[in-house]
Amino acid sequence: MKIVLTGFMGAGKSATGKILARQLNLEFIDTDCIIEDKAGQSIKKIFQLRGEPFFRSLEKEVVGEVARKTAWLFF
């Protein structure tokens, strides 16, 4: 089973995703954390210093990596 949560910042995707993953016995993957690790800076800093196009490119790359996993839940 694969579930993707999308929405605006601050909409509650992380909180909802963690609960849903626990209830469905799925791994919860926070793509924002992966993006921050890859970039070596916070999402806020990425937007400030590198801009939205860079963030979206990195986000697309990370989502592709996560999508290749067998069972996942991410936002």
What is the reported pLDDT for 66? 87
- pTM equals 0.79
Q: What is the pLDDT of residues 13-60, one digit of tens each?
A: 999 999 999 999 988 999 999 999 999 999 999 999 999 999 999 999
Does residue 27 or residue 69 have the better pLDDT?
27
Three-state secondary structure call for residue 11? coil
Question: What CATH number should be reported for the domain holding residue 56?
Answer: 3.40.50.300
Containing structural domain, residue 63: 2-74
**How many residues appear in the chain?**
75
* Alpha carbons 47 and 32: distance in angstroms, whole number: 13
Please give the pLDDT value at position 13: 92
Conformational region of residue 54, where left means phi above 0, alpha means psi within -120 to 50, and beta covers everything else: alpha
Q: For residue 7, what are its two tokens?
A: 């929405």
pLDDT at 4: 84
The count of domains in the chain is: 1
Q: Which residues contact 15 (CB under 8 A, 6 or more apart)?
A: none
